[in-house]
Structure 1
């Protein structure tokens, strides 16, 4: 990697887990002071949340489903959320908004949502650059919902529509709202980028008349395909079932649904990823190139999986910000 590319780059967490709870507002306990890779203090964790659905989401089949947060006792904390029954957005408002916004979707194999290094930390880094960030807490498909395989995309579409409708309140241009997702959240990011118009839920209010197409997309070390041998087995099992047939596999393999209308895309993966094969990113890139969609791809030789946005081994946020600026997300 040359020095000019390194000059663009600025802005791993883990171990044993203990249970925690969510407050009535939906906020989690705030983390300690956080710094970017250059040592600058990042904004505090937000306490602002907005619900996606006016009367709660439809289709709950498991009446006793309740949200649970588990957190690592070793610093920095890494919180893993499951049992989401109140899908919502954590909002990061920059001090000097530049009119751009990003919907950020943490991963977790569709088993949980890794809300810190793939969510709140991303919000803190990108909002420091002037981008308004909305971190998505979405429903998980294997937890007891009707139309389970489409439940994450329902929440992602609704989130994008809600952000655009409320854009003026957040000093955001509704034409400049992108999406970024990590791992299984990257699959959901790619699902929104390719299936923003899919009729996965009936309209509940005027918000659902809004176009859900993102301006740009950024699937990061993403699960792109559901094809056996290529996919992440846990994500496939939770989303469509380990024994899903060929038609269902094809339907939820996002590389099959790229068109010329798919938004410009930023791709990032470590080639030594032992959880999600790098061939997922290469398959999506090939589909984007075939469709004539602008795509920027970064492959790092080392980094593994789940490195988030503040791992010095894979310092990539500056690359993304450069791409976003080139694509007109902000000046």
Structure 2
């Protein structure tokens, strides 16, 4: 299944590249791509890092929504720092950059972890595998620039919410060690996250708890089953998947919590370390849960559970 996902992503990438090339050359047969979705940056970032200065693979243009980038939040204190690529949610059609991006970046900074909020490409202009390529490139980029950014290249993780959680799970399951012969030194780096955090992520498409067509903004509304299989993260897990922390709520009516249990079970079967927390109450999109109504006060503890998990595994400095 991993090989299938990589092969499918490679073939779609070639298609993206050919369409972009045809458009740039003015061929009449090239379909017109919809305009790229433009995202407002998160607040308080130190630097905006363009992942492909010469243009992203399959890009339709050079406008804001065509240029994937990282927004950096470097941690203070002694280096080298662990780092996390934060992947906001938004159904692959928009990005919740503050609530599921900058808030978490600042939380990580306060605990000695550098954070990088990823602006990945979105539908309908960009379909699979464009967001996956952007996520993989982010990890390779940070490893390649670890010295420049005072990072530990062996402690780089991902943290995703909802659709961003799906992307985090995909990156945790589908990765490679890099290409030693690549002309671009960034591509010589591996893209496997050292750890992954999934918050209310949709990673399985069983009709029992996912009755609607899966992820239309990522793969289209009428995608073939082979395409669905290529993004069915739960089925892509192997023993090489990244250790994972999984959080969701039973009360989530948008992404059934059985997505989380299915992913945990897949990791467990593969022998991959995993921690799962499912709370009784709480809607979809709780974020860090610190500003929710008093009836949901129980959820406020979940970031502390994450902090303990990261600390015990060496991915966050111990707070004194």
Offset of 1:235 from its aligned partner? 5.7
TM-score by length of 2: 0.78
Which deviations, in whole Å up to 9, do the C-alpha atoms of 1:26-70 show, x marking residues without a partner? 97484xxxxxxxxxxxxxx22411111021213234x5x854xxx
Give the Cα separation in 2 of the matches to 1:274 and 1:182.
Answer: 15
- Counterparts of 1:95 and 1:286 in 2: how far apart (Å)? 37
- Shift of residue 86, structure 1, vs aligned partner: 1.4
Choose the corresponding residue for 2:267, options 288, 312, 325. Answer: 288
Number of aligned residues: 271
Which whole-Å deviations, capped at 9, do the CAs of 1:244-297 have from their partners, x for residues lacking one?
222222211000111111111000001100111111111101100100111111
Q: CA deviation at 1:232?
A: 8.2
User: In the alignment, which residue of structure 1 is the partner of 2:281?
Assistant: 302
Q: Find the counterpart in structure 1 of residue 171 from structure 2.
A: 192
SS in 2 for 1:113: coil
Q: Is the 8 A contact 2:251 2:282 kept in 1?
A: yes
1:314-329 matched pairs, under 5 angstroms: 314-315=299-300, 316-329=302-315
Aligned match of 2:54: 55
What SS class does the counterpart of residue 147 from structure 2 fall into? helix
8 Å contact 1:227–1:250 — kept in the other structure? no
Cα drift, residue 319 of structure 1: 1.1
Verify the 8 A CA contact 1:97 1:171 in the aligned structure 2: no
- Pairing of 1:264-283 with structure 2 (within 5 A): 264-283=243-262
Tell me, yes or no, if structure 1 residue 118 matches structure 2 residue 104.
no
Gapped regions of structure 1 (runs ≥ 5)? 1-20, 31-44, 68-83
* Separation (CA, whole Å) in 1 of partners of 2:211 and 2:268: 23
Change in CA separation of 1:192 and 1:155 when aligned onto 2, cut-off 3 Å: same
Partner of 1:162: 141
CA root-mean-square deviation: 2.5
1:116-155 matched pairs, under 5 angstroms:
116-143=98-125, 145=126, 148-155=127-134
Higher relative contact order (CA 8 A, sep 6+): 1
Q: Which runs of 5+ in 2 are unaligned?
A: 1-36
Q: Choose 91-100 or 167-176, whichever is displaced more.
A: 91-100
**Structure ranking higher in helix proportion:** 2
Given that residues 169 and 203 in structure 2 are in contact (C-alpha distance below 8 angstroms), is that contact kept between their aligned partners in structure 1? yes
3-state DSSP class of the match of 1:176?
strand
Aligned to 1:259: 238
Q: 1:186-224 deviations in whole A, cap 9, x for unaligned?
A: 00000100012299xx96611011011111101110011
Instruction: State how far apart, in whole Å, the 2-side matches of 1:244 and 1:210 are.
Output: 32
Superposed counterparts of 1:49-88, under 5 Å: 49-61=48-60, 63=61, 66-67=63-64, 84-88=65-69
